[in-house]
Amino acid sequence: MVATLDVLLLPEPGRTADCLVVVDLLRATTTIATLFERGLRTLTVAQDIDYARRLRDETGAILFGEVGGMPPADFDHGNSPVEASELDLQGKSGVMFTTNGTAALCMAARQGRTIAGSLTNVSAVAAGARAFDSVLIVCSGNAGGTTFSLEDAYGAAEIAQHIAGVAPGLVVGDAGRLLLASDPVKLRSSARGSTHARLLEELDLSRDVVFAFRPNSSRAIPTVTAHGDGWAVLEDLRRA
């Protein structure tokens, strides 16, 4: 049962917890949940794009990701949950590099048990996190984790609400209290028009934004099972 809960509005090295839930709503953790829902066996997230390419070349894994919102020409697929939802990935392995989410996952993996969370798997992730005494929800942010992301804060608020609703006596940190006290309808509306959401719409990726704001389309609990310097391996806790 969760005793303490807090939210980091930006990634912060050194903050530990029994369980860290990383949120990159647009789009890495949303895509990750979808990849596992489509049958992916393992996903290695990389902090460095060249390492991701090298790992793909060495292992034959499928390379997913983006730079500036779009997939590099040599990547197999982008960082698109809509695209991921149309793939047959049963038993396959993947590698991913993105601008914000993969670095946040690699950082969090050094600080406690780490889960990739989004609105698409909010109920499953909250259920998985409830098994831990202390939970820290980490917003990936924008610009490589250096600027605030409104949509990540909204995703964190929804996950926090799902945890807090069944944890009487829960001690919540200040950022968590702020998000839990926010009007969820107004916060969702603001997040839907966030800077990054508008950028994706300008890139003709509005379907990804719609997909990311649809709750509980996945029951995956993507969880880090191994990690090292600049990389982390995730598996779906349902099958790990």
Domain spans of the chain? 4-225
Q: Write out pLDDT tens, residues 78-105.
A: 999 999 999 999 999 999 999 999 999 9
Q: Write out pLDDT tens, residues 22-79.
A: 999 999 999 999 999 999 999 999 999 999 999 999 999 999 999 999 999 999 999 9
Domain 4-225 fold is: putative 2-phosphosulfolactate phosphatase (3.90.1560)
Q: Write out pLDDT tens, residues 199-210.
A: 999 999 999 999
pLDDT at 16: 97
Is the model's pLDDT at 240 over the cut of 70?
no
Tell me the CA distances in angstroms from 174 to 155, 169, 180, 213, one per residue in order. 17, 16, 10, 25
| Strand pairing report for 171-172 and 19-23 | unpaired
